[in-house]
Amino acid sequence: MARICPLFSSSSGNSTYIDTPNGGFLVDAGASFKNIVQAVTAAGCDFSDLRAVAVTHEHSDHIAGLKTVLKKTGVPLIASPQTLETLAAADKIPAETVTIPAEAETLDLVGVGITHIPTSHDCVGSGGYSFTLPDGRRIAVCTDLGVVTDAVRTALTGCSAVLIESNHDVSMLQRGPYPPSLKMRILSEMGHLSNVACATELPALLKSGTTRFILGHLSQKNNLPMLALSTAKASLADAGAEFGKDYLLNVARPNGNEVVLL
């Protein structure tokens, strides 16, 4: 059995645990080591099974606990070459940590294929990840992207489960308290994916075989879980899909999330 466990998901901190028959993989470490261990345990997983940490990019809400996690576990770090360089320069990687550059080819770690998915975000080398399980099924985690590129769309196609960004409601963002420069950044192609932009992608993913969707990285100021859910469900309903029958849909809260079984 494999599970995807969104441990933390918000602008304050992000971390997802992928539990496979061959071990666990942590995507980002945007919370303290203690809180990550507690969250993994609460999800019914054994943190001692951790095999690697895969980092999407260097923003603080994704790496706050990274150095401690690496130091205490001794597992390797996977990230794009650019992200590894940035993290090293910021002293976020313990000297003894084995680093594995994630480039175009799929990595094989303990029988699990790990593929880096380049994303459009405002830092060099950002990306999501897909994990190919021993039975051939795939799980993907893809947030922090201003636009869904053809490369992202191709990488997500055919995944059994996808955690995808549904960051903001455009109207809430435009009316909200952020300064104009930050609003422009979020709305840009190097920013974050809106509810509508996310929802637009879901019918094609469903058609390709994705039956489990998790909406992640929701803004706590510019979005509401019910808005993200209703927008996604409406898009899938327009495609003739029925919630609970053709697909499952969850919203990842800042913490204390449900485990999604494959």
Distance CA 33, CA 63 (A): 11
pLDDT tens track for 160-202 = 999 999 999 999 999 999 999 999 999 999 999 999 999 999 9
Distance CA 121, CA 166 (A): 14
pLDDT tens track for 133-161 = 999 999 999 999 999 999 999 999 999 99
The residue whose two tokens read 């489990």 is 212
Q: Given the DSSP bridges, would you call strands 161-165 and 138-142 parallel, antiparallel or unpaired?
A: parallel
pLDDT tens track for 55-77 = 999 999 999 999 999 999 999 99
Q: What predicted TM-score, i.e. pTM, was given to this entire model?
A: 0.97
pLDDT tens track for 83-117 = 999 999 999 999 999 999 999 899 999 999 999 99
Q: Is the pLDDT of residue 256 over 90?
A: no
